[in-house]
Amino acid sequence: MSPLADRYLALYEHGYFPMADDSGKVGAFCYDPRGVLPVAEFHIPRRLERWLRARPYQITCNQAFPQVIRLCGERQRTWLCAEIEETFCELHRHGWAHSLEAWHQGQLVGGLYGMTLGGTFCGESMFHREPHASKACLIELYQRMVQGGFDLIDCQEVTPTLAQFGARQIRFSEYYGLFRQYRKKECNLNG
C-alpha cells in the first residue's frame, strides 16, 4: 500500500479520522464525545421496517465503492476531497474499506462506506437519491455485522438519522477502550 494509505490506517488505529477543510487540505480529527452505535443496541424504527418490507431496493456490498464515495461527496458542504477519495479507493482494493449500495431499476440511489478494523466498522458517510435508500444500506450493514461478529459502529457524530437507530455519545476514552478491545477480533463483513 502507499504511504498515504498506511497513514490513514494509522489515524484510525489511534482513534482519529481524516477530513478535508474547505480548501481541500486533509487533517486528522477526533471527536470527544464520540458518536457510537453498539451492534447490540441497534434498533430499526417500526415505520421504516414496514416500509422496507416491500423491498424497494436491491442492496449489495462492495459492488460500487468508487461511485459511493464520490456521491457521498456531492453535497454543498463536504469533508471529502480527491485525496480522501483516492486513498479510500486504495484501502478498498486492499480489503480495509467497504461500501453498501442501494439500487433501484439499475440505478445507484443510496449507499454508505467506511472502514473495518477488528470488530468495529468506522462509518464515514452515507448518501441517498431515493427515500430511505441510505437507511436500507445501514440496516443491511447491521445485519452483516451481526453475522460477521462485529460489536460497534463508530459513527463519529450522532446525526438525527443515526439517533433513530440507537446511536449515542460516549467519552472518547470509553470509545477508544472499546475499539482496542474489539480490534483483536477477526470479523467478516462479507458474510
- Which CATH number is correct for 3-183, 3.10.20.440, 3.40.630.70, 2.60.40.1220, 3.40.640.10? 3.40.630.70
Give tens-digit pLDDT for 179-191: 999 999 999 987 5
Provide the strand spans (E) within 4-119: 17-20, 26-29, 34-38, 58-61, 97-104, 107-117
- Residue 111, phi then psi, degrees to nearest 5: 180, 170
Give tens-digit pLDDT for 151-187: 999 999 999 999 999 999 999 999 999 999 999 999 9
Cβ-based neighbours of 104, under 8 Å, separated by 6 or more: 56, 57, 58, 130, 133
